[in-house]
Structure 1
Amino acid sequence: MVTLHEKYKVLLVDDEPIILRSLKAAIPWTELALEIVGEARNGEQALRLVEETAPQIIISDIRMPVIDGISLMKEVLSQNAKRIFIFISGYGEFEYAREALRQGAFDYLLKPIDHEELTAMLKRAREKLDRQKENDQLMHSVQMLSMLARERMFAEFTLGNQRPLQQLSWLENSELEGEYFMAVVQLDDYAALTKQWSPEEKRLWLFAVRNIVEEWSLEHGVLTVFPFHNGEWVLLFPGSLYTNKKQLGEDLVSGIRRYSKLSCSVGLSPVAHGIDQLSSVYPLAARALVQRFYAHQAGVFTEEDFPADGRQEIKYPKELEAALIESIRTLDMERMLHLLDELGLTIEALALPKESAERLIMEMLVVLYRQFEHLNLSSEGSHGRLLSRLHTFGTLNEMLASLKEEFREWMAHSSKPVTREDGRSVVEKAKRYIESNYHKDLSIEEVAEMADLSISHFCTLFKQISGYTFLEYVTYCRMEKAKYILQNSNVKVYQVAPLVGYQDPRYFTQVFKKASGKTPTEYREANAKQTH
C-alpha cells in the first residue's frame, strides 16, 4: 500500500515521566504518520513548546501544576482553533473532563491509559486534520479562482469583450458604477529587460513588482488592480482622486523604483463611468504613454499633456488602428502593408502639418509595436531606433516606407517558429513543463510565458504541432496520472483528486468519467479484476 499522508506534529504534556515514556513507546507513531515534537511537564512549559514547534495535536493531562489543562487549551485554541486537544484524566475528574469537551477538546480518556483506545482516537484525530486541510485547500482554490476570475473579467472588459460576461448578475454592484479613472503602469524598456532575464528571473521580477503595485494600491484607495500584459498593470482609481492624479502617479513610480530598482512610467485616462467604459479608457491611458518617448525619461503622462498645436483637428483613426492590430495578430503581411497605405491616404486627406502627422504616426507606432512585442517578433530597442528615425524624414512617404520596411522585417520572423524544428522544440519544452506541473493550478499564461510566446501565438503553435489544445493536454496528463495511482495504490479517490490538480473530488470524478467512460472507483475495480 502506498502511504501519502502528511506527517502531523504531536506535543505530549504530563507531569508524570512514566506516562510520557509509556506514550512514546506504546503508540505506533510512525504507522499513524505522526511525529512527537516535544514533551512538557506543565502547562507553562507546554505554551512555550507550542509556540516553538507548532503542533497540530496536543495530548495533555487535565490536572497539572502552574497552568492546568483546560487553561492551556483555551490559550492555545485562541491562537489556532484548528488544533486538536486530547485529555488524560483520572477517575475522579469526570466533571472536569466534560467541561473540557464543552470548551473544545476533541476527546478524553481515563487513566490507566488504554493504548489501543488512544490509537483509535489518534486515527480519528488525523482524519479530522486531513478534512480540515482539504477544506482549507478547497477554500484557497476558491479564493484564487475568484481572484483570477475577477482579473480575467476586468481584462475582458478592457479588451472590449463583454458578451461572455453579461450573465454575471453580481456585476450590477460593481465598484465601477461610480466615476473612476485608469492608470496604466508599464515597465520601461521591458523588451530589453526580458532579454537579460531568464524565465525564472522574469517570473520573480514580475511577481515582485505586482506585489509592490498591489500593496501601494491598498494604501492609496485604488478600486482594483490587475495585470493586463506582461510588464504592464492596470489600476482603477475612484473619480474623487482625479484632481490628485499626477501626484498619485509620481508616488507609484517612485515606490516601484525604490523597492525594485526598476523604472516605470504611468499613463492616465480621463474620468469614466461604468465597467463597460473600460475598453474606451484603456486606449487613452495607453496612448498617453506615447509621451514617454518624447520625454526621454520615466514619468506620469496624460492625454491633456499633449501639445495643443494641430491637435484639435485630428480625429484619431481608431478603426484603422484596430484593423492594423488584427493584421499583425493574424500575421497577415499583405493586409498590414495595404492598411499602412490607407493610413497615408488618411493623413493626406486631413492635410495635417508635418508635426501633427508625425505625432499621429508615432502614437500608432507605439500601439502597433506592442503587438509585435507580445508576439516576440521585434528586436531589442528596435522601436526606439524607429521612433528616432521618424524625426529625420522629410516626407510622409519616407516615414511610411520606413514603417513598412521595419514591420515587414519583424513579421518575416513569424513563420519560423511554426514551420521549423525550433517550433517543435518549444512545444516539446512546453509539454515537459506541463507534465512536471500538471498537479498545480497551472495556467496557460504561465506556460506561454515559460515558452516566451504570447498567449495567442502559443495556443496556435501548441495545437498545430501537438494536436491538443492546452487544456486538453493538461487534462490528458492529469487523467493518465490518476489512472496510474488508481491502478497501483489504495489511495482513496478523494485523495487522488488533489494529487492530480483537482481540489474538488466531485469535479475530478466528472472529468475522469468523461475521459475514461468510468468513475475512478469503477476504473479501479475493473483494473483489479483484469489484474487477477
Structure 2
Amino acid sequence: MGALQEKYKVLLVDDEPIILRSLKVAIPWEELQLEIVGEARNGEVALNLIGEMKPHIVISDIRMPVIDGIALMKEVLSQNSKLIFIFISGYGEFEYAREALRQGAFDYLLKPIDHDELAQMLERARTKLDRQKENEQLMHSVQMLSMLARERMFAEFTLGNPRPLQHLQWLENSELEGEYFMAVVQLDDYAALTAGWSAEEKRLWLFAIRNIVEEWSLEHGVLTVFPFHNGEWILLFPGSLNSSKRELGEQLVTGIKRYSKLSCSVGISRTTQGIDQLSTIYPQAAKALYQRFYSGHEGVFIDEETAVSESREIKYPKELEAALIESMRTLDRVRMLALFDEMALFIGEQAAPKEMAERLIVEMAVVLYRQFEHMNNQTQWSLERLLGKLHTLGTLSDMIAALKEEFEEWMKQGNKPVSREDGRSVVEKSKRYIESNYHKDLSMEEVSELADLSISHFCTLFKQVSGYTFLEYVTHCRMEKAKYILQNSNVKVYQVAPLVGYQDPRYFTQVFKKATGQTPSEYREEHTKQAN
C-alpha cells in the first residue's frame, strides 16, 4: 500500500466485547490503510455513530439487540448507497446472511472469524472504495470541463467569434432558443479598486464575487452565468422575467454589496432570441451600464431607457467605430487621430443637441476604452476620469480634443519600446510560463499581461524573438508533451487530450495529425516498435 493513500474509516458493531477486541488486534489495520473510528454494542448506537463518524466500512454482527444488522443496513443505505457493509453471522444464520447480500451487503463471513479471510475481504472493499473515488473524481473533472467549455462557448459567441468553437458542438444551448435577455454585472471603479491588490488578492476577490453571483443565479432562475472581462460577469435570464428586469438588477446589486461589501452596477439589454444574438445584445447591456457615470452612484441601467431614440434622427456611426477600433488594434496613431476628426465632422453635420452629441461621444469612448482594456494591462487608465472630464466640457471641439489627448497617451503607454535584451528576457519568461501551463485554457491576454505588454506588442515581440506565433508555440508545447505521453505510457488516446489542454479528443487528434502527419494511435504504434 502506498503511504500517501487515504485512510478509510471503519466502524465495528457487535454485542460481544471479546469479538470487538479480537477484531481490533488481529487485523493489520495500519497495513490495510484503514482506521477504526468507533465501536457499537447494538444497532441503535451504531446508527447514531454512522451519522456522526461517517465511516466508509461497517463490520457488523448480523443478529443484534434493538436493531438487527439487516435493518441497520437498509436504513443507512437509503441515505448513503456507497457505504460498505460486511456481516459476521453464526452457522445457523446462513440463509439470513444470504438475504443480507441480496439487500446490498458487500460480503459476510461465518463465526468463528477467520481473520485472514476478513483481511482479504477488506482489501477488496478498499479496492472498491478506491474505484468509487476515482469515478467521482473523473465525473467531477468531466463536469468541470463541461462547465469551462460552456463558459468559453458563451464568451466566444458574446465576442462574435463562433467559428473557433465548431469542435464544441456537443454542448447544448437549447436554453437560448427561446427569448432571453442579458445582464452585465461590473464592479464599480474596477481599475482603482484593484490597483492596491496583489495578484493573489485579485484572484481571491474575483473568485468570491463569482461564487456570490452564481449562488444568486441559482435562486433566481438565471439560464447561465459566466465571467467575461475582469471584474465583469454576464447573466442570461429567460424572457419570462422581462417585466422584473429592474427588480432583479437591484436584488443583485444589493446581494453583492451585502456579502462582499463591494459596490457594483448592472446593465441590462433588450430581449432577444438565439445564441447568435449574444454579440448583439452585449453592447446594449454594456452601454446601458456606463450610464452610471451620469448618475454618480451604483445602480441598474436598462437599455430601453438609455438608448437614443431613432425618432431623434441621429444614427450611431458604426462604421466609424469599427475603423477606430482597427486603428487601435494596429497601433496606428495617425489614422486614429484622423478618424476622431471625422467623428467631429459627423456629429457637426447631424446638428444634434449638446446632450445627444455628448451621449454619442460617451458611447464611443466606452467602446474604444473596452478595446484598450482588452489589449493592455494598464491599471492607471481611468474611464471614469475621462467621462467625468467630457461631462464638464462645453463644446464639441473640446470633447474631441480630450478624446484625442487621452487615447493618444494611452496608445503611447501601451506601446513603450522594449530593448533587445529585455525583449528576449520577456519572451523567455513567457515561454517558460507557456511550458508550465500549456495544459490549461491559455489565452494570449493572460500571457501578455504576465509580460506587461499590450497584446499587439507582445505578439510582435514573441514572433521576432522565438520564431513562433503565440498559438504556434502553445500548440508546439502541447504536441511535444502528447508525443512523450504516447511513447512512455499506456494512457488511452482520449485520455491524453485533456492532459495537454484539449477537451475534445477528436479535435486533439486533428491537431496532432496536422502537426505530425500521423494520428496519435499511429504515432504510438510506430514509436513503440522502434523502442522495441
Q: For the structure 1 residues 46 and 307, does the alpha-carbon distance in structure 2 shift closer, same or farther, using more than 3 Å as the test?
A: closer
Q: What letter corresponds to residue 144 of structure 1 in structure 2?
A: M
Quick check: 149-158 or 334-343, which moved more?
A: 334-343
1:310–1:353 Cα contact (<8 Å) kept? no
Quick check: 371-380 or 135-144, which moved more?
A: 371-380
1:180–1:238 Cα contact (<8 Å) kept? yes
Residue 308 of structure 1 deviates from its aligned partner by 6.2
Q: For the structure 1 residues 427 and 196, does the alpha-carbon distance in structure 2 shift closer, same or farther, using more than 3 Å as the test?
A: farther
Distance (Å, rounded) in 2 between the aligned partners of 1:286 and 1:505: 31
Quick check: 340-349 or 241-250, which moved more?
A: 340-349
Task: Give the structure 1 partner of residue 104 of structure 2.
Answer: 104
2:344–2:397 Cα contact (<8 Å) kept? yes
Quick check: 9-18 or 191-200, which moved more?
A: 9-18
Distance (Å, rounded) in 1 between the aligned partners of 2:233 and 2:483: 36
Q: For the structure 1 residues 2 and 309, does the alpha-carbon distance in structure 2 shift closer, same or farther, using more than 3 Å as the test?
A: closer
1:418–1:461 Cα contact (<8 Å) kept? no
Q: For the structure 1 residues 270 and 453, does the alpha-carbon distance in structure 2 shift closer, same or farther, using more than 3 Å as the test?
A: farther
2:414–2:454 Cα contact (<8 Å) kept? no
Cα deviations by residue, 1:220-253 (Å, 9 ceiling, x for unpaired): 2222222221111112222232223222212221
Task: Give the structure 1 partner of residue 70 of structure 2.
Answer: 70
Residue 381 of structure 1 deviates from its aligned partner by 5.6
- Give the 5 Å matches for 1:48-447: 48-165=48-165, 174-306=174-306, 312-380=312-380, 382-416=382-416, 442-444=440-442
Residue 108 of structure 1 deviates from its aligned partner by 1.3
Matched position secondary structure for 1:413: helix
Distance (Å, rounded) in 2 between the aligned partners of 1:37 and 1:170: 45
Quick check: 63-72 or 309-318, which moved more?
A: 309-318
Residue 116 of structure 1 deviates from its aligned partner by 2.5
1:153–1:165 Cα contact (<8 Å) kept? yes
Q: What letter corresponds to residue 144 of structure 2 in structure 1?
A: M
Quick check: 160-169 or 298-307, which moved more?
A: 160-169
Distance (Å, rounded) in 2 between the aligned partners of 1:394 and 1:152: 43
Matched position secondary structure for 1:444: coil
Q: For the structure 1 residues 229 and 420, does the alpha-carbon distance in structure 2 shift closer, same or farther, using more than 3 Å as the test?
A: farther
2:181–2:236 Cα contact (<8 Å) kept? yes
Residue 352 of structure 1 deviates from its aligned partner by 3.3
Residue 303 of structure 1 deviates from its aligned partner by 3.2
Root mean square deviation, CA, Å: 4.2
Residue 165 of structure 1 deviates from its aligned partner by 4.7
Task: Give the structure 2 partner of residue 40 of structure 1.
Answer: 40
Cα deviations by residue, 1:7-59 (Å, 9 ceiling, x for unpaired): 32222222333333333333333333222223333322322332232221222
Distance (Å, rounded) in 2 between the aligned partners of 1:6 and 1:431: 37
Matched position secondary structure for 1:116: helix
1:191–1:373 Cα contact (<8 Å) kept? no
Distance (Å, rounded) in 2 between the aligned partners of 1:505 and 1:316: 41
Q: What letter corresponds to residue 191 of structure 2 in structure 1?
A: A
Q: For the structure 1 residues 40 and 455, does the alpha-carbon distance in structure 2 shift closer, same or farther, using more than 3 Å as the test?
A: farther
Distance (Å, rounded) in 2 between the aligned partners of 1:503 and 1:332: 35
Residue 389 of structure 1 deviates from its aligned partner by 2.4
Residue 450 of structure 1 deviates from its aligned partner by 8.3
Q: TM-score, normalised by structure 1?
A: 0.82
Q: What letter corresponds to residue 441 of structure 2 in structure 1?
A: S
Identity rate of aligned residues, in percent?
67
Distance (Å, rounded) in 1 between the aligned partners of 2:305 and 2:317: 20
Distance (Å, rounded) in 2 between the aligned partners of 1:477 and 1:400: 52
Gaps in structure 1 of 5+ consecutive residues: 487-491
Residue 286 of structure 1 deviates from its aligned partner by 0.9
1:62–1:88 Cα contact (<8 Å) kept? yes
Residue 493 of structure 1 deviates from its aligned partner by 6.0
Task: Give the structure 2 partner of residue 489 of structure 1.
Answer: none
Distance (Å, rounded) in 2 between the aligned partners of 1:407 and 1:184: 25
Residue 285 of structure 1 deviates from its aligned partner by 1.2
Task: Give the structure 1 partner of residue 515 of structure 2.
Answer: none
Count, aligned residues: 515
Distance (Å, rounded) in 2 between the aligned partners of 1:314 and 1:338: 22
